[in-house]
């Protein structure tokens, strides 16, 4: 399906986007936050990235045991027993980590997360990571070392990004392969972005050594988009409220880059 939709991308005028919320990570239950003078657990930069981001409904009865109780899941009305899920599928030209070098060639990764509100202290929004899969072997090794649920894609994902004569991203199509995540996805921007802007995002994950937060500082252009795909047969299907192909749904198309940090502290403001 991605190839047929990709053909349509070239005749539509579109652009890219990525919305990401900023919040503060919760400290591990019963333990103090890390000393601010201590360095981050991991830092890296990704550039030349095109992202397709969209939301679906998940089964609250399945997701509640997967998300720590200190986080409140976000209801997905009007159906009872349904909560929000966010799917983010990204292809980047380069991953650079200090003292670890850069990736060779483009790579793709996918994050499935649940939008949450932390209930310890002040209300804080963010995303709790359920699945995280990547082609980038440096990313895979580093996140596994920290205890994140990282799975390896097979490095055979095919990506088509369509741009206009000025280099503005008009659309994207992915054919993702490996780790049980085989699926196709395409997105077409429905309007042009206003231009690059700075945004932040926070992704939470409790690991065997404690709570961690992945903090993003993004320089991105964002636009509404229409996406189509099919996640049946992937691990996403085990937590989804509704099954079947996704056709002509609203999402976001994003282009740009970001600095990322994994920490046990609060994300920078």
> What confidence tens digit (pLDDT) does each residue in 111-128 have?
999 999 876 655 678 999
User: Quick one: pLDDT at residue 101?
Assistant: 59
Other CB atoms within 10 Å distance of the CB of residue 196 = 15
3-state SS track over 14-35: CCCCCCCCCCCCCCCCCCCCCC
Which token pair is 192?
A: 């042009």
H/E element, 144: helix 137-146
Burial of 148 (0-12, 13-18, 19+ CB in 10 A): buried
Q: Read off the pLDDT of residues 215-242 as tens digits, 9 standing for 90 and up.
A: 999 999 999 999 999 999 999 999 999 8
Would you say the C-alpha torsion 47, 52, 53, 57 has a positive or negative sign? Answer: negative
Q: Is the pLDDT of residue 13 over 80?
A: no
Count Cβ neighbours within 10 Å for each residue of 4-35 and write b for 16 or more, e otherwise: ebbeebeeeebbbbbebebbbbbbbeeeeebe
Q: Tokens 């079947």 belong to which residue?
A: 244
DSSP assignment letter at 61: H
User: Quick one: pLDDT at residue 100?
Assistant: 60
Phi, psi dihedral angles at 135 (to 5 degrees): -85, -25
Phi, psi dihedral angles at 125 (to 5 degrees): -95, 160
Q: Read off the pLDDT of residues 29-41 as tens digits, 9 standing for 90 and up.
A: 333 333 444 558 9
Are residues 70 and 111 in contact, defined by beta-carbon separation less than 8 angstroms? no
How much is the average pLDDT of 43-69? 95
């Amino acid at each position: 399906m991605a190839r047929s939709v990709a053909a349509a991308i070239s005749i539509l005028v579109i652009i890219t986007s990525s919305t990401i919320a900023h919040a503060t990570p919760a400290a591990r239950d019963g333990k103090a936050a890390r000393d601010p003078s201590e360095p981050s657990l991991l830092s890296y930069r990704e550039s030349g990235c095109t992202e397709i981001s969209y939301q679906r409904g998940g089964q609250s009865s399945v997701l509640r045991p997967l998300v720590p109780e200190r986080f409140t899941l976000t209801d997905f009305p009007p159906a009872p027993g349904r909560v929000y899920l966010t799917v983010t599928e990204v292809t980047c030209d380069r991953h650079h980590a200090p003292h670890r070098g850069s990736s060779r060639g483009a790579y793709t990764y996918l994050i499935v997360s649940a939008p949450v509100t932390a209930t310890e202290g002040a209300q804080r929004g963010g995303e709790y990571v359920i699945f995280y899969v990547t082609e980038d072997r440096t990313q895979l090794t580093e996140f596994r070392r920290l205890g994140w649920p990282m799975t390896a894609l097979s490095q055979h994902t095919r990506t088509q990004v369509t741009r206009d004569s000025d280099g503005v991203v008009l659309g994207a199509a992915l054919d993702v392969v490996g780790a049980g995540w085989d699926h196709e996805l395409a997105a077409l921007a429905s309007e042009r972005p206003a231009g690059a802007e700075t945004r932040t995002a926070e992704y939470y994950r409790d690991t065997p050594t404690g709570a961690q937060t992945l903090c993003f500082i993004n320089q991105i252009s964002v636009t509404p988009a229409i996406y189509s795909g099919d996640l049946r047969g992937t691990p996403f299907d085990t937590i989804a409220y509704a099954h079947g192909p996704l056709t002509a749904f609203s999402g976001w198309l994003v282009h740009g880059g970001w600095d990322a940090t994994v920490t046990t502290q609060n994300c920078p403001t």
